[in-house]
Structure 1
Amino acid sequence: MDGPLWTETHAPTLDDLPQAEVRDALRRAVDEPMNLVCYGPRGAGKTAAVRALAREAHDSENDLIELNVDDFFSRTKTEIKNDPRFASFLVGRSRMSKRDMINHVLKEAAAYAPVSGTYKTILLDNAETVREDFQQALRRVMERHHRTTQFVIATRQPSKLIPPIRSRCFNVPVRAPTHDEVVAVLRGVVEAEGVEYEADGLEYVAGYADGDLRRAILGAQTTAETAGAVTMNAAYEALGDVGLTGTVEEMLADAEAGEFADARDALDALLVDEGYSGEEILGDVLRVARSRHSGRELARLHRLAGEVDLDLADGTSDRIHLAHLLAELGR
């Protein structure tokens, strides 16, 4: 996409959140800071809701610290150390184990004094991949800094959190938005952008997103940038499988050629920039593979895909499991 993402330029305020129960719970957390577990399906708006909470609670944007768990557990030590968000925490600590690096970043982030006000907010996003040893370290940090830090854990699977953490947090369930709620959000975004639209175009994009609000907004942006308007025909042309299949073909070619970094960049673009789910990408990987392979090699890929599909169904990180599939293809 050429310009800034609409998901960022049209980030909701607390009053904009479509679910009254979520609005009320987060409003209470502004008035009386407390640790939270926000849980719900992918694309339900958990991260956007926490950011809205932070904007309401803090005068400085620096008082919201976001730590995406995938950024830790799916990366190597070198990648973590070189990430500009974490580099300042890890200067002179290259001999640390990966686990110690992660724990050190968490402790340092929690120890920082708030820029304004009396407390700051730390968001641990995609927390379904957090290992138990890290959760134990997190529990100790939560105990030590409870007066100056509000911890918010966003996850698809709250049952994977250990009881001592769950007992220290107030639960905020975030359901998938209804079709009508997605249409209403899309209407507000395209009108704010001054983009022409038709009602059936918004309906098509909402149906294409299948309850994933982030994917719906990015789908509307893709359609608007491609056709200049969000209509039924424009959305059908812009959001068909052609773009997905083309990128998947390039991704598989890179993986099989041993260019794993390029293949993973393509995977990140599909998951993050385009908003596809892991299941959609895996399905297209199999469709593309059937046109490229046969016999034993195709059977091997189906076996790997079956293992990945089971992992995806368990709700863990799509990026980790699909990247594992790409790495296996490059062997």
Structure 2
Amino acid sequence: MAPLVPSSQPWVEKYRPKQVKDVAQQDEVVRVLTNTLETSNCPHMLFYGPPGTGKTTTALAIARQLFGPELYKSRVLELNASDDRGINIVRTKIKDFAAVAVKSCKGQGGYPCPPFKIIILDEADSMTEDAQNALRRTMETYSRGSRFFFLCNYISRIIEPLASRCAKFRFKPLSEDIMITRVLHICQEEGLDLEPEALSTLSSISQGDLRRAITYLQSAARLFGSSITSKDLISVSGVIPQEVVDSFFAACRSGNFDLANKEVNNVIAEGYPVSQMFSQLFDIVVEADDISDEQIARICKKLGEADKRLVDGSDEYLQLLDVASSTMRAICNMQEDFS
């Protein structure tokens, strides 16, 4: 397979840390794993936390530092979001890989090369419960020659028998300072001119997800050239313009249903994602200082219910209209009660 042309290589991969010690901000995790690498005594591991905080990077770095480039392909099995996660993949692909024993190749190429394989299951919280139960037995049977790395956003979706067999590592959202430092480094390497306001915007819209920030940056660079503005980043991110969200909330506060319905129709007609509207509307509501805590609680409860219905496949127009109606009722009825 021909190597990627540098200009077409995703920056997420290009600037991915190659060693555990280079992973940003996860100091406790890095310290423990560095000690693990020195002894080559690796347990099953469970990495959990928000997206874009370094879980996959850390798992891949451990595998590379243990086996090096020559043994990596034969010793590491990585299953990501595009792979089937049902019970059949556990019974076939994972079991077959784990069943083949390997010997120690200490010192090969300067790498520890311990006598086990590593199976990396990215987004493990998307596996079915049956698949996780089947995996528990596989872990027990082949524990001598295999180590499992589970990567997930929600640890609550991993069944307890699996979680209890792993050393757990929590990955924290990246701070704005760390995000800015990494982004500025990439801008310098790629010759980009990023406006100060654009830097702040990028940090805001990526919400602590460094992978997302780098992807937005590369997309903007490809579309708009080396000089990138705040508007450019918003246009490639899918974030709804703030004036649209403000206008929608103002219509809800007015108590005028026809005006609110007009704003709903405008959002749908423009093709803005309603789930994104809920997310940005939530930020406005919780920061509003002229409505009561009870009103905020009622609106947030409705946003959560509507967002769940969207995930289940409900109609976007109806859910946004339901949120608009409920917001109007929460604000206007409470105001009438106090008058």
Q: Does the pair score TM above 0.5? A: yes
Q: Does 1:20 align with 2:27?
A: yes
C-alpha deviation, 1:281, in angstroms: 4.4
C-alpha deviation, 1:198, in angstroms: 4.3
Structure 1's 222 and 133: CA in aligned 2 closer, same or farther, altered over 3 A? same
Aligned equivalent of 2:61: 52
Aligned AA (1:192): E
Q: 5 Å matches for 1:196-275?
A: 196-229=193-226, 231=228, 234-240=229-235
Aligned equivalent of 1:273: none
Q: Which runs of 5+ in 2 are unaligned?
A: 1-6, 106-112, 241-271, 279-302, 316-339
C-alpha deviation, 1:169, in angstroms: 0.5
Q: 5 Å matches for 1:108-147?
A: 108-113=96-101, 117=113, 118-147=115-144
Instruction: Calculate percent identity across the aligned residue pairs.
Output: 29
Q: TM-score, normalised by structure 2?
A: 0.61
C-alpha deviation, 1:178, in angstroms: 0.9
C-alpha deviation, 1:239, in angstroms: 2.9
Q: Distance in 2 between matches of 1:167 and 1:157?
A: 15
Aligned equivalent of 2:297: none
Q: 5 Å matches for 1:99-110?
A: 99-110=87-98
Aligned equivalent of 1:309: 307
- Contact map agreement 1:196 1:228 (CA 8 A) in 2: no
- Contact map agreement 1:70 1:126 (CA 8 A) in 2: no
Q: Distance in 1 between matches of 2:194 and 2:215?
A: 15
Quick one: which of 272, 276, 283 aligns to 2:275? 283
Q: Distance in 1 between matches of 2:16 and 2:102?
A: 23
C-alpha deviation, 1:41, in angstroms: 1.3
C-alpha deviation, 1:282, in angstroms: 4.4
- Contact map agreement 1:72 1:102 (CA 8 A) in 2: no
Q: Which has the higher contact order (CA 8 A, sep 6+)?
A: 1
- Contact map agreement 2:205 2:239 (CA 8 A) in 1: no
- Deviation per CA, 1:56-115, whole angstroms, max 9, x where unpaired? 222133133211256314xxxxxxxxxxxxxxxxxxxxxxxx633442112112224459
Structure 1's 140 and 308: CA in aligned 2 closer, same or farther, altered over 3 A? farther
Structure 1's 199 and 113: CA in aligned 2 closer, same or farther, altered over 3 A? farther
Which moves more between the two structures, 190-199 or 120-129?
Answer: 190-199
C-alpha deviation, 1:204, in angstroms: 2.4
Which moves more between the two structures, 236-245 or 56-65?
Answer: 236-245
Q: Distance in 1 between matches of 2:304 and 2:235?
A: 25
Q: Distance in 1 between matches of 2:93 and 2:81?
A: 12
Q: Distance in 1 between matches of 2:179 and 2:52?
A: 11
C-alpha deviation, 1:199, in angstroms: 4.2
Aligned equivalent of 1:150: 147
Q: TM-score, normalised by structure 1?
A: 0.63
Q: Which runs of 5+ in 1 are unaligned?
A: 74-97, 246-279, 287-304, 313-320, 327-331
C-alpha deviation, 1:151, in angstroms: 0.7
Which moves more between the two structures, 216-225 or 107-116?
Answer: 107-116
- Contact map agreement 1:11 1:48 (CA 8 A) in 2: yes
Aligned equivalent of 1:10: 15
Structure 1's 142 and 210: CA in aligned 2 closer, same or farther, altered over 3 A? same
Q: Distance in 1 between matches of 2:65 and 2:92?
A: 28
Aligned equivalent of 1:159: 156
3-state SS of 1:58 partner? helix
Aligned AA (2:31): D
Larger Rg: 2
Structure 1's 222 and 114: CA in aligned 2 closer, same or farther, altered over 3 A? farther
C-alpha deviation, 1:137, in angstroms: 1.3
Which moves more between the two structures, 188-197 or 126-135?
Answer: 188-197
- Deviation per CA, 1:260-289, whole angstroms, max 9, x where unpaired? xxxxxxxxxxxxxxxxxxxx9443599xxx
Runs of 4+ in 1 over 4 A off after TM superposition: 113-116, 241-245, 305-308
Aligned AA (1:224): A
Quick one: which of 63, 68, 72 aligns to 1:61? 72
Aligned AA (1:137): A
C-alpha deviation, 1:182, in angstroms: 0.9
C-alpha deviation, 1:54, in angstroms: 1.6
Q: Does 1:190 align with 2:187?
A: yes
Instruction: Quote the RMSD (CA, aligned, Å).
Output: 3.2
Aligned equivalent of 2:320: none
Q: Distance in 2 between matches of 1:242 and 1:8?
A: 19
